[in-house]
Amino acid sequence: MSFDVHKLRPDFPALARSHRKKPVVYLDNACMTLKPRPVTEAILDYYHRFPGCHGRSYHLFGEETTKKVEESRQKIQRFLNAAFPQEIIFVRNSTEGLNLLAHTIDFQAGDVVVSSDIEHNSNLRPWQILEKKKDVIRTIIPTKADTSFNLDLYREKIMPIAKLVTILSTSNLTGVSFPLEQIIKIAHEHRALVCIDAAQSSLSQKLDVQKLDVDFLVASLHKMWGPTGVGILYGKKKLLEELPQFLAGGETIEDITYTSAKVAPLPDKFEAGLQDYAGIIGAGAAIDYINDIGQKNIQAQIQELNAYATSKLVEVDGLKLLGPADPGLRSGIINILIDGISAADVSRLLNESENIMTRFGKHCVHSWFNKNKFPDSIRISFSAYNTFEEIDILVQALKNILKFFRH
């Protein structure tokens, strides 16, 4: 389809809201994207028409649920170009996927886990715990001043005994993307496994897991116009088969006695208990919707929005933009520090004065803020349904707020 943002917006009912007689302006997409009607309709269709169990109930509702869940798995398989549908494991979010790996990969004392210094807390804390629990060694690669990846330093730091490189695809801090193909190639030359945190990139960037030759990848549907509580763990089939179970119980076994069990094959092995079938079916609808719009169209719109907003914001005194100066290198994110004024106050006033929803704080990258001794920042993040008009509202509101504080 040809892309027209004004035709897209009616599919997202939340954008039609007004509050205090003004329209809402949603600019917190790096945290959570809005949901189009086809996604919520697919969820309601499950609850209203066939609310059964997957894979265990051989009746009308159960069979329809199983069919729809496996169709969603196959859609995600094709979306990522995974070799087998069994390589797609449904989890709650990227965080759960990363924790699953941290608990199941056979780490030994002295094994090295490599990551960058701008990883989300979800790709930091599990490895901190392993460091204390199993004496795993963590190697953190400092990014450059603009938070872009330091490939030369990575080459120097990665060690022959590295067990895992676990690295972001696109940063939720500055929107910068890392050179995945080179990172993976170098890691594999050192016989290290690679996990990619694709939470921020999976909506707008084509991620071909076979072309990348990545071992594991995690993503969250709530950042992909999909439902909350549904995430993806991709893993190469052979690797997933070698990993032990993380959660065990219903659906994860084929047979069991009081003393032994026959573990179910992939993907059931890792999908313990009754799952969020409505959400998984909604995830499939989200993939269909993204494919209809086209990832190239989504990415182009996001980059145009960032370029326009950046051109306006750099003219405002007292703002410092984090990350690369070139908006084309920041995906849909603009993160700003405001000289001498609380980010919390500004973000709240944006919301209260013009219904402009942004995010303030340390954005789950506390370690980087603490290292640099930076105060909280305001993150503005776009999706393809945002408009230039909304950016104009944002810029004018920011100017008004800064004028209020400085006079």
For residue 292, CA distances in Å to 38, 72, 387, 390 come to 11, 15, 20, 24
At 234, is the secondary structure helix, strand, or coil? Answer: strand
What does the block give as tokens for 27? 């600019």
Alpha-carbon span 216 to 194, nearest angstrom: 6
Pairwise CA distance, residues 236 & 209, whole Å: 9
Q: How far apart are CA 105 and CA 123, in angstroms?
A: 15
Q: Which two tokens stand for residue 258?
A: 């009081």
Catalytic residues: 364
Q: Can you tell me the distance from the alpha carbon of 59 to that of 376, in angstroms, rounded to the nearest whole number? A: 54
Q: Element (H or E) spanning 355, and its range? A: none
Q: Which of 25, 72, 140, 104 is nearest to 280 (CA)?
A: 72
Nearest to 149 by CA among 329, 333, 381: 329
**Which two structure tokens, joined as six digits, stand for 294?**
């086209």
Which residue bears the tokens 């954005």? 363
| Contacts within 8 Å (CB) and 24+ apart, 241-244 | 241/265, 241/266, 243/101, 243/104, 243/105, 244/104
Q: Are 45 and 278 in contact (CB under 8 A)?
A: no
Q: Could you tell me the CA-to-CA distances from 66 to 58, 71, 176, 252, 396 in Å, in that order?
A: 9, 8, 39, 15, 51
